[in-house]
């Protein structure tokens, strides 16, 4: 873009200005009602610099991320469109990107996608025509060369702020940094990480990232998932691929809930309280790690807690950015 | 007795046996409780089964490949099981008779074997025996406690039943000559005169009163019931089997004690180790590495044998040539000395009859043709080989019979020796289940020295079965049918013994290594594995036969349990040498032919010599059940019955109970 | 080699319902080797079909045969009389052999007795596992000789997804993460730096993007063949975005 920005989105401007960015996740409904997305957008728009709309997350069919982004735009929130490689080939993906740009979406996150085995259509055939790194390449090519993969020209402008994900807790640990470098080389402008619970391990990873100078080439937003109950912590520990929850966190949540005794309501309240406390601690800790430029809150099904958490974390109000 | 040009490959036990007895064959039969068949197999090659089952030096056991795993099979004891439990009669004499006559001089193991073989070849045979009783050394010299005389008679009777005439008290050179025999129309004469004369060491005092020679001593104990005067200490000089026989006979003949003296160190003693062991058990004192120097007579009575220490028995060339520490001497006290240092022949009558001896007074003999210097006169036995075992003498008798047959037919006879199977490979040895050798029961040493009853009691049938199962079935198992093999490697992967290997892109089932467990045969997906052991390849035909007459139920049992199934009606059931040789296709075939249900009954006990076989059999039962179930053809139509040996008698009830519909739990 | 499994007996029984003389025809090559196509499997399948047919009161007859390779017309010719004597063939070959019968015997119905599973190997007795998807443009030079297209649940080209934990794939704790194996192997081979290069977007024309594939060995032909598939050309050196 003529103003020097790649897309000129709020998220890009915040990061470019060297400010600590905040994004959060919005899960679309398993249905056609636009209201849930709009409501979440309303609640979070002033607390976050961009809102991720997931793309059939965990391979469960939901309202598409493109429509979700459009609904957020309607309420004045800044959308970040997630795209997975699992369900669409290069033709469909490029087409969706064109559509999104035409509707004013400027932030994109390129993902491989959870395997369909985990979703509600485990007998589906997956696509994976291109992988997430090639998806980054594709978006970069569309933006910088204004060309499709096939080499043909794209008409119109193609402003995009391109994101990618990385999981510092997956294996092979050493290779995760190499992979991050590949994503940067492919064209990633920012990274949202998998949820961080094991802060020392994340710090070790960040150190490797900084040692390679990658923090200078990309903005890293640390992923944080606020936990409400010990059950959720346990579930994430055992059943969510790629998320590493240390035992102490499960124990800590359990201990908090136990203070509520037999009273279920009280129990839940103590749990929520402890979860928020934990989230605030995590945000505070990751903020201190060199190279971390923001946080990404994935409060799946608990989006209403996000503004409160950010408030307590001292991240509100969000800084103003120049218009245009 | 192979005459084809290509050498035959035999299991090591069979190959090592001088008469190449099919030990594997009779062991397999015993293992299945087929004692009659076992005896039949023994008789196919052995004209003196009872004698061999009792006194054979069993070289087979030295080569038994189980010896590499734990301990060799007790093959001789198993032969005794065959002769004691088996009821099959000796083969009848052939119908086609030849006009020629053969005279055999001597009725020891060599002469009897030759006579037996010649009779089977159709010749008319007459044996001339110089003693009053036939049997040669076996009758005269082998102690009664090792070989009851009645047993010798049974073997000899079987030979005379073939039409062989034995003329006792006929001594060559005394009442008959070779010329006489030729005049009488004998077309060939076979000298099988053995080594009937004891040697003496040639030491001062050896002609004293109280010094005896081994063979006359044994003969008088065995034949005349000679007993020693009371309270005499006996010294036996010699370290061979005859010396042991003398020593043990002396104990039984009333010696107060027996001391043996021999030149050889313990490991050099020519006597069989087990004979030495048995002598020791009976309290015989063995003094090794001493050579007799002189016999000292005290007070006109024999008192002491002076011995000198042996430096070495053999010289640098390995020849028998003892040397001594002349000044290192010892005195061994005793009242009677029996010299058992070797035997020689008595051939002095031969030169006068035109049969030549060499300068060392030995028979001029050609081992290739078994001939002597005189046309039509052949020889065999220890006169041709020197001292040795009965079974070796028998093998020369067999050769001589073939040589005479060739001579009388005007054909040239070439003897080809069969080859042994190779050694067991270490990786195969590792896979073979260790099974302890079953000790052959014997009379208590303290009791047996007081009588002349047979010391060795032998196995009973059940112990025999157990011991026979230890046989590794060398070379009697799987072989690849190369043109059918698709190299899927299933055999390579299922074999618990690593027998099949890949070589140059092909599968090689090493026949000489196979343990005959049969897992691969049933698992091969293209029927490319053949099996030598009887009772496996014919399973489909046996199923067809069994299913004739619209049977509802088809049973398979482990042939190794046949003995326990005596008295159970196994008519229409199929015995398989270990149930792991059952293939899913066999079971399906039974159903195709109309069976409603099938069962497999097996011992399932620790005696199963194989590794993993029961598991594989179970797996096939499960596979067929699941195939049938998946096709909606019913559930549990094949049952695997694990039966304890003592429960086989109730097999019918066990089968009925297995197929009984399960009662619904009450309440 | 091609690995296959048996179809369920009931399914096969349904397929052959209209026929009275059925040939069960095995193949001694790939399916023989993976233990679903050899002589014994044919016998087992035929026996089972006979039993089922008898139970249902049918009067069908089942014959048995095996050919060296069902996918070769010359070998099929050797079994022509067997095939022509039947009303239908149940093939225990792979999908290739089955179609060879369909092509070579235009009037003979052929039914699959097997499901063709994948290209793979049998690392040990009774285990068959996939190794290759026959994509037509082998890239394992970059991945230490291990194929991420065949063995990664997401066919990723550029490294493991975020679900690789302790050497296992997120789809199943039984499945090793091939990318972990690739990284380990490249490390052993001293070629880890190769993995830093981005494998660009690939040309799937060699795989299944063009319909049925064919290739021609010009050196073995003097006349152009009668084509039934799209002739594959060697992939352009750059491979990536075309």
| C121 has a chain B CB within 8 A of its CB | no
Cα B170 vs. chain centroid, distance in angstroms?
32
A192 found inside a domain: yes
A91 found inside a domain: yes
Q: Which two tokens stand for residue A205?
A: 């990873």
Domain chopping of chain B, boundaries: 9-89+418-468, 101-196+345-409, 198-341, 478-531, 539-659
Q: How far apart are CA B41 and CA B570, in angstroms?
A: 24
Q: Which two tokens stand for residue A251?
A: 């124990």
Please tell me the predicted confidence (pLDDT) of residue A243.
Answer: 85
> What SS3 state is found at B209?
coil
A276 found inside a domain: no
Please tell me the predicted confidence (pLDDT) of residue B661.
Answer: 78
Please tell me the predicted confidence (pLDDT) of residue B606.
Answer: 65
Helix, strand and coil content of chain C, in percent to the nearest 5, comes to 30, 25, 45
Candidates C198, C200, C202, C242, partner chain A, best to mutate (most A CBs within 10 A): C198
The alpha-carbon gap from B630 to the nearest alpha carbon of chain C, in Å, equals 7
Q: Which residues of A touch C180 (CB under 8 A)?
A: 171-172
Q: Which residues of C touch A113 (CB under 8 A)?
A: 154
Question: Is-contact A62 A28, C-beta < 8 A?
Answer: yes
Please tell me the predicted confidence (pLDDT) of residue B300.
Answer: 65
Question: Is-contact B539 B533, C-beta < 8 A?
Answer: no
ipTM above threshold 0.85? yes
A232-251 residue pLDDT tens: 999 988 888 778 899 999 99
Q: How far apart are CA B236 and CA B257, in angstroms?
A: 11
Q: Determine, for residues B632 and C124 on separate chains, whether the beta-carbon distance falls below 8 Å.
A: no
Going by DSSP bridges, is the β-strand pair A79-84/A107-111 parallel, antiparallel, or unpaired? parallel
CB-closest option in A90, A128, A138 to C154: A128
| A252 has a chain C CB within 8 A of its CB | no
Is the per-residue pLDDT at C112 higher than 50?
yes
C48-98 residue pLDDT tens: 999 999 999 999 999 999 999 999 999 999 999 999 999 999 999 999 999
Candidates A134, A139, A173, partner chain C, best to mutate (most C CBs within 10 A): A134
Q: How far apart are CA B246 and CA B260, in angstroms?
A: 10
Chain B contact partners (≥3 CB pairs within 8 A): C
| C119 has a chain B CB within 8 A of its CB | no
Q: How far apart are CA B582 and CA B535, in angstroms?
A: 11
Q: Which residues of B touch C122 (CB under 8 A)?
A: 489
Within 10 A of C212 (CB to CB), how many other CB atoms are there? 9
Please tell me the predicted confidence (pLDDT) of residue B110.
Answer: 98
The alpha-carbon gap from C126 to the nearest alpha carbon of chain A, in Å, equals 25
Please tell me the predicted confidence (pLDDT) of residue B663.
Answer: 64
Please tell me the predicted confidence (pLDDT) of residue B509.
Answer: 95
A280 found inside a domain: no
Extended strands (E) in C110-170: 110-112, 114-124, 127-132, 168-169
| B592 has a chain C CB within 8 A of its CB | yes
Helix (H) or strand (E) holding A26: strand A21-26
Q: Nearest residue on chain C to B491, judged by CA atoms?
A: C125
Please tell me the predicted confidence (pLDDT) of residue C227.
Answer: 82
Please tell me the predicted confidence (pLDDT) of residue A322.
Answer: 83
Please tell me the predicted confidence (pLDDT) of residue B1.
Answer: 42
Strand partners, B558: B576
Q: Determine, for residues A179 and C160 on separate chains, whether the beta-carbon distance falls below 8 Å.
A: yes
Please tell me the predicted confidence (pLDDT) of residue A1.
Answer: 55
Quick one: fold of B101-196+345-409? FAD/NAD(P)-binding domain (3.50.50)
Question: Is-contact B214 B246, C-beta < 8 A?
Answer: yes
Please tell me the predicted confidence (pLDDT) of residue A233.
Answer: 93
The CATH number of B478-531, from 3.30.70.20, 1.10.3470.10, 3.40.50.2300, 3.40.50.720, is: 3.30.70.20
Low-confidence ranges of chain A (pLDDT < 50): none
Is the per-residue pLDDT at C240 higher than 80?
no
> Which residue, A67, A84, A91, is CA-closest to A118?
A84
Size of interface A-C (CB pairs under 8 A): 106
Q: How far apart are CA B412 and CA B489, in angstroms?
A: 48
Helix (H) or strand (E) holding B234: strand B233-237
CB-closest option in B490, B588, B632 to C44: B588
Q: Span C201-217, mean pLDDT?
A: 86
Task: Kindly list the structural domains of chain C, giving each domain's residue range(s) and its CATH number in brackets, ordered by start.
Answer: 2-118 (3.40.50), 133-196 (no CATH), 203-242 (no CATH)
Q: Nearest residue on chain A to C182, judged by CA atoms?
A: A172
DSSP for C174-210?
Answer: EEE-HHHHHHHHHHHHT-GGGGGSPP----GGGTTTT
Helix (H) or strand (E) holding B326: strand B320-333
Q: What is the dihedral of CA A5, A10, A14, A16, to 10 degrees?
A: -10
> Which residue, B190, B178, B247, B195, is CA-closest to B218?
B247
- Indicate the burial class of B375 (C-beta count within 10 angstroms; 0-12, 13-18, 19 or more): exposed
Q: How far apart are CA B220 and CA A243, in angstroms?
A: 99
Q: Which residues of C touch A201 (CB under 8 A)?
A: none
The alpha-carbon gap from C73 to the nearest alpha carbon of chain A, in Å, equals 34
Q: How far apart are CA B64 and CA B304, in angstroms?
A: 44
Please tell me the predicted confidence (pLDDT) of residue C237.
Answer: 54
> Which residue, B39, B30, B70, is CA-closest to B464?
B30
Q: How far apart are CA B503 and CA B513, in angstroms?
A: 15
> Which residue, A65, A58, A101, A99, is CA-closest to A81?
A65
Q: How far apart are CA B82 and CA B54, in angstroms?
A: 12
CB-closest option in C8, C35, C55 to B488: C35
> Which residue, B566, B564, B585, B531, is CA-closest to B641?
B564
Candidates C8, C24, C37, C43, partner chain B, best to mutate (most B CBs within 10 A): C43
Q: Which residues of C touch A149 (CB under 8 A)?
A: 201, 241
Q: How far apart are CA A163 and CA A183, in angstroms?
A: 9
Q: Span C162-190, mean pLDDT?
A: 94
| A194 has a chain C CB within 8 A of its CB | yes
Q: How far apart are CA C242 and CA B513, in angstroms?
A: 60
Domain B198-341 CATH superfamily: FAD/NAD(P)-binding domain (3.50.50.60)
Q: Determine, for residues B591 and C51 on separate chains, whether the beta-carbon distance falls below 8 Å.
A: yes
| C198 has a chain A CB within 8 A of its CB | yes
| B631 has a chain C CB within 8 A of its CB | yes
Q: How far apart are CA B61 and CA B12, in angstroms?
A: 9
Q: Which residues, 6+ apart, have CB-to-CB distance to C19 below 8 Å? A: C60, C86, C87, C88, C109
Low-confidence ranges of chain B (pLDDT < 50): 1-5, 667
Q: Nearest residue on chain B to C34, judged by CA atoms?
A: B488
Domain count, chain A: 1
Q: Nearest residue on chain A to C153, judged by CA atoms?
A: A115
CATH architecture of B539-659: 3-Layer(aba) Sandwich (3.40)
Region class of A113: left (phi > 0), else alpha (psi between -120 and 50), else beta:
left
Please give, one letter per residue, the 3-state secondary structure of B482-541. HHHCCCCCHHHHHCCCCCEEEECCEEEECCCCCCCCCHHHHHCCCCCEEECCCCCCCHHH
CB-closest option in C8, C39, C125 to B526: C39
> Which residue, C22, C13, C112, C7, is CA-closest to C56?
C13
Q: How far apart are CA A77 and CA B218, in angstroms?
A: 121
Is the per-residue pLDDT at C117 higher than 70?
yes
Size of interface B-C (CB pairs under 8 A): 71
> Which residue, C22, C58, C56, is CA-closest to C42?
C22
Q: Span C224-242, mean pLDDT?
A: 67
> What SS3 state is found at B195?
coil
Going by DSSP bridges, is the β-strand pair C2-6/C114-124 parallel, antiparallel, or unpaired? antiparallel
CB-closest option in C8, C43, C50 to B630: C8
The domain made up of B9-89+418-468 is a member of CATH 1.10.1060 = yes
Q: Determine, for residues C125 and B494 on separate chains, whether the beta-carbon distance falls below 8 Å.
A: yes
Helix, strand and coil content of chain A, in percent to the nearest 5, comes to 45, 15, 40
Q: Which residues of C touch B488 (CB under 8 A)?
A: 32-35, 38
> What SS3 state is found at B26?
helix
A111-126 residue pLDDT tens: 999 999 989 999 999 9
Q: Which two tokens stand for residue A97?
A: 């990107």
The alpha-carbon gap from A179 to the nearest alpha carbon of chain C, in Å, equals 7
The alpha-carbon gap from C209 to the nearest alpha carbon of chain A, in Å, equals 11
| A242 has a chain C CB within 8 A of its CB | yes
Q: Can you say whether the dihedral through the CA atoms of C133, C139, C141, C143 is positive or negative?
A: negative
Please tell me the predicted confidence (pLDDT) of residue A239.
Answer: 82
> Which residues 6-35 of C have a C-beta within 8 angstroms of B?
8-10, 13, 28-29, 32-35
The alpha-carbon gap from B470 to the nearest alpha carbon of chain C, in Å, equals 28
Strand partners, A288: none
Q: Which two tokens stand for residue A120?
A: 């509600």
Helix (H) or strand (E) holding B328: strand B320-333
The alpha-carbon gap from B590 to the nearest alpha carbon of chain C, in Å, equals 10
A244 found inside a domain: no
């Amino acid at each position: 873009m003529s103003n020097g920005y790649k897309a000129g989105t709020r998220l890009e401007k915040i990061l470019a200005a060297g400010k600590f960015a905040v994004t959060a996740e919005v899960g679309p409904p398993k249905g056609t009602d636009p209201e849930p997305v709009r409501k979440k957008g309303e609640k979070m728009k002033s607390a976050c610099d961009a809102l991720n709309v997931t793309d059939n997350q965990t391979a469960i069919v939901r309202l598409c991320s493109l429509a979700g982004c459009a609904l957020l735009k309607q309420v004045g929130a800044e959308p970040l469109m997630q795209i997975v490689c699992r369900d669409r080939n290069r033709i469909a993906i490029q087409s969706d990107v064109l559509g999104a740009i035409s509707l004013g979406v400027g932030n994109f996150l390129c993902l491989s996608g959870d395997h369909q085995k985990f979703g509600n259509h485990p007998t589906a055939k997956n696509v994976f025509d291109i992988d997430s790194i090639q998806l980054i390449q594709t978006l970069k090519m569309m933006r910088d060369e204004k060309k499709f993969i096939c080499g043909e020209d794209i008409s119109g402008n193609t402003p995009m702020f391109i994101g990618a994900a990385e999981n510092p807790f997956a294996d092979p640990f050493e290779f995760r940094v190499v992979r991050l470098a590949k994503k940067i080389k492919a064209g990633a402008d920012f990274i949202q990480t998998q949820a961080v619970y094991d802060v020392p391990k994340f710090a070790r990873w960040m150190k490797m990232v900084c040692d390679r100078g990658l923090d200078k080439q990309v903005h890293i937003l640390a992923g944080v998932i606020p936990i409400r109950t010990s059950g959720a912590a346990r579930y994430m520990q055992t059943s969510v691929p790629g998320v590493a929850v240390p035992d102490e966190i499960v124990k800590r949540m359990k201990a908090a809930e136990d203070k509520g005794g037999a009273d279920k309501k009280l129990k839940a309240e103590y749990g929520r309280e402890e979860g928020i406390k934990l989230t605030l601690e995590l945000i505070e800790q990751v903020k201190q790690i060199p190279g971390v430029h923001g946080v990404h809150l994935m409060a799946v099904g608990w989006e209403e807690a996000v503004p409160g958490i950010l408030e307590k974390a001292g991240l509100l109000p969000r800084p103003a950015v120049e218009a245009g | 007795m192979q005459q084809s040009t290509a050498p035959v490959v035999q299991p090591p036990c069979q190959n090592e046996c001088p008469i190449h007895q099919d030990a594997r064959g009779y062991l397999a039969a015993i293992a299945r409780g087929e004692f009659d068949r076992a005896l039949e197999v023994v008789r196919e090659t052995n004209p003196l089964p009872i004698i061999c089952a009792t006194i054979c030096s069993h070289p087979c056991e030295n080569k038994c490949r189980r010896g590499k795993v734990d301990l060799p099979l007790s093959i001789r004891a198993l032969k005794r099981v065959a002769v004691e439990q088996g009821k099959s009669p000796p083969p009848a004499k052939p119908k086609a008779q030849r006009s020629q006559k053969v005279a055999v001089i001597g009725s020891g193991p060599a002469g009897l074997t030759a006579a037996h073989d010649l009779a089977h070849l159709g010749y008319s045979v007459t044996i001339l025996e110089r003693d009053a009783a036939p049997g040669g050394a076996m009758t005269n010299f082998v102690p009664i406690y090792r070989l009851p005389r009645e047993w010798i008679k049974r073997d000899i009777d079987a030979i005379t039943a073939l039409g062989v005439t034995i003329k006792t008290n006929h001594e060559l050179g005394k009442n008959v000559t070779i010329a006489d025999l030729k005049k009488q129309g004998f077309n060939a004469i076979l000298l099988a005169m053995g080594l009937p004369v004891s040697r003496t060491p040639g030491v001062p005092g050896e002609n004293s009163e109280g010094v005896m020679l081994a063979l006359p001593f044994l003969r008088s104990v065995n034949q005349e019931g000679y007993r020693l005067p009371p309270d005499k200490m006996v010294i036996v000089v010699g370290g061979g089997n005859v010396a042991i026989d003398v020593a043990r006979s002396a104990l039984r003949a009333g010696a107060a004690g027996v001391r043996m003296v021999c030149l050889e160190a313990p490991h050099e003693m020519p006597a069989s180790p087990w004979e030495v062991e048995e002598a020791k058990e009976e309290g015989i004192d063995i003094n090794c590495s001493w050579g007799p120097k002189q016999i000292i007579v005290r007070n006109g009575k024999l008192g002491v044998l002076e011995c000198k220490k042996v430096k070495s028995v053999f010289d640098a060339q390995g020849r028998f040539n003892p040397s001594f520490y002349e000044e290192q001497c010892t005195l061994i006290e005793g009242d009677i000395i029996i010299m058992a240092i070797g035997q020689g022949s008595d051939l002095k009558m031969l030169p006068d009859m035109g049969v030549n001896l060499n300068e060392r007074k030995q028979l001029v003999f050609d081992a290739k043709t078994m001939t002597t210097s005189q046309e039509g006169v052949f020889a065999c036995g220890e006169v041709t080989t020197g001292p040795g075992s009965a079974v070796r003498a028998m093998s020369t008798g067999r050769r001589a019979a073939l040589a005479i047959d060739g001579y009388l037919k005007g054909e040239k006879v070439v003897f080809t020796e069969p080859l042994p199977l190779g050694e067991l490979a270490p990786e195969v040895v590792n896979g073979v289940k260790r099974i302890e050798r079953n000790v052959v029961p014997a009379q208590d040493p303290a009791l047996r020295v007081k009588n002349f009853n047979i010391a060795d009691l032998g196995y009973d049938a059940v112990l025999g079965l157990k011991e026979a199962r230890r046989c590794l079935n060398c070379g009697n198992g799987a072989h690849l049918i190369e043109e059918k093999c698709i190299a899927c490697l299933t055999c390579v992967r299922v074999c618990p013994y690593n027998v099949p290997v890949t070589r140059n892109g092909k599968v090689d089932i090493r026949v000489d290594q196979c343990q005959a467990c049969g897992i691969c045969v049933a698992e091969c997906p293209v029927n490319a594995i053949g099996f030598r052991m009887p009772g496996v390849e014919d399973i489909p035909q046996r199923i067809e036969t069994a299913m004739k007459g619209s049977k509802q139920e088809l049973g398979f049992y482990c042939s190794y349990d046949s003995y326990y199934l005596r008295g159970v009606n196994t008519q229409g059931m199929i015995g398989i040498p270990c149930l792991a040789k059952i293939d899913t296709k066999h079971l399906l075939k039974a159903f195709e032919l109309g069976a409603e249900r099938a069962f497999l009954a097996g011992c399932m006990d620790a005696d199963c010599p194989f590794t993993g076989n029961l598991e594989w059999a179970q797996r096939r039962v499960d596979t067929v059940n699941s195939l049938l179930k998946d096709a909606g053809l019913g559930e549990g139509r094949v049952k695997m019955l694990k039966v304890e040996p003592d429960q086989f008698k109730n097999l019918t009830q066990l089968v009925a109970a297995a197929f009984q519909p399960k009662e619904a739990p009450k309440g | 080699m091609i690995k296959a499994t048996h179809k369920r007996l009931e399914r096969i029984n349904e397929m052959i319902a209209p026929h009275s003389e059925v040939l069960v025809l095995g193949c001694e090559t790939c399916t023989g080797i993976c233990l679903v196509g050899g002589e014994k499997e044919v016998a087992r399948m035929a026996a089972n079909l006979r039993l089922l047919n008898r139970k249902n009161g049918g009067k069908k007859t089942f014959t048995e045969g095996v050919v060296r390779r069902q996918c070769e017309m010359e070998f099929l010719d050797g079994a022509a009389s067997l095939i022509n004597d039947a009303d239908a063939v149940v093939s225990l070959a792979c999908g290739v052999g089955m179609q060879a019968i369909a092509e070579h015997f235009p009037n003979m119905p052929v039914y699959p007795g097997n499901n063709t599973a994948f290209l793979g190997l049998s690392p040990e007795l009774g285990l068959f596992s996939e190794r290759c998807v026959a994509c037509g443009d082998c890239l394992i030079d970059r991945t230490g000789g291990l194929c991420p297209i065949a063995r990664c649940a997401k066919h990723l080209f550029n490294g493991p997804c975020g679900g690789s934990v302790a050497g296992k794939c997120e789809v199943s704790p039984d499945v090793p993460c091939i990318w972990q194996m690739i990284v380990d192997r490249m490390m052993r081979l001293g070629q880890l730096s190769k993995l830093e290069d981005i494998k660009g977007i690939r040309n799937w024309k060699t795989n299944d993007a063009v319909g049925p594939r064919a290739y021609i060995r010009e050196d073995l032909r003097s006349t152009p063949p009668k084509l039934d598939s799209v002739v594959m050309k060697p992939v352009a050196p750059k491979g990536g975005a075309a």
